[in-house]
Amino acid sequence: MPASLIAPHGGVLVNRIVEASKAAALRAQAATLPVITLSAKQACDLEMIAIGAFSPLTGFVGQADFESICKRTRLANGVVWPVPITLAVDDATKESLGDHRHAALKHSDGTLLGIIEVHEVYAHDKKLEIPNVFGTEDPKHPGVEAVLKEGNWCVGGPIDVLTVTPAKEPGEQFTEYRLTPDAVRNEFINRGWSTIAAFQTRNPIHRAHEYLTKCALEMTDGLLIHPLVGETKPGDIPADVRMDCYKVLIEKYYNLKRTMLSVMPAAMRYAGPKEAILHALVRKNYGITHFIVGRDHAGVGNYYGTYDAQKIFDLFKPEEIGLTILRFENTFYCKKTKGMASDKTTNSAPEDRVFLAGTKVREMLKAGQRPPEEFSRPEVADILMASSWVKG
């Protein structure tokens, strides 16, 4: 790894994609094995492990790591890790594994994705995982709901992966932007960047987001706009619509020489503070040095405090995270100054402040209301209003 770029989390950038010369043998082996069909979330996790985005993980976690993550926000070896990446299976699948030490991993459409070396099968302790990861046991929380629906057993072990994006999988794969951590790092080197800020989003970028990213860009060599395009909850704006918004916004309103767009194929957990740590460590694997954490990062509903996702980083030594966390206060459009601002930069009256949020934008769109220019750039509003998501 070039000395000019930050080291991956744990020191080594994992790669679990098998070499072409070994693919035929792996396929032949898979044909003799019991099958685990992955959920959409698990397929996202498999890709994140395989490409090294979840480094230092080499597979789905075993029981010791699972319990340590839930209790200490660390792997069993002490490395910080906030969310257990599990391969949960139902009773029937567990029984089908029998004494097999390997299992084939397949997409829901039947595509063979890879093989897991089964090191252990253990009880899925949801009562331990849910409150410690999500900070709530409310079954209405989308992350809690997802775990409750998962199987009662977890399969732990390293994976070897043949493909991560099945040709039969419906929808856009964003191939041009679906870069591995290694590829993103190489692009940073080609651009001559050594300090890079990353912005995580699952929404179109509104004016407040734009303000945060440009503040971050003033501090660094480059900006990585890195939207999550894996599984999200119903009601979120689809990734293809969001990608159109990101592309036009960058083209019209950012310095193209200092801004890069790539996608992260992860699934959302909506775990607030714990997921903020996960998002930061993942971006560290992609080579970024500065990570933006604004209000209610990775939150949903009213489950987390406005700045809980910032405060959680205070629980760790700076070298354990290894990034500069850029903590931004709640920003708003200021009618007095006619621009974006925060309490740090303006003394405007409450009636002169227009607060922006992805939830508010979604509500306006669903009601058939065009977001005003204080919320969204007009080109972004045009795309959103024309989308089938709004019309449907």
Active site residues: 202-203
H/E segment holding residue 353: strand 353-355
Q: For residues 348 and 279, what is the distance between their CA atoms, to the nearest angstrom?
A: 33
Q: For residues 379 and 271, what is the distance between their CA atoms, to the nearest angstrom?
A: 31
Q: For residues 133 and 277, what is the distance between their CA atoms, to the nearest angstrom?
A: 11
Q: Which amino acid makes up residue 134?
A: F
Cα dihedral 368, 268, 380, 224, rounded to 10, equals 170
Q: Is 166 exposed, middle or buried (0-12, 13-18, 19+ CB in 10 A)?
A: middle
Q: DSSP string of 177-235?
A: T---HHHHHHHHHHHT-SSEEEEEESS---HHHHHHHHHHHHHSSEEEEEEB-S---TT
Nearest to 108 by CA among 172, 41, 40, 174: 40
Indicate the angle between helix axes 358-366 and 378-386, nearest 10 degrees. 50
Q: Locate 312 and state its tokens.
A: 């959680």
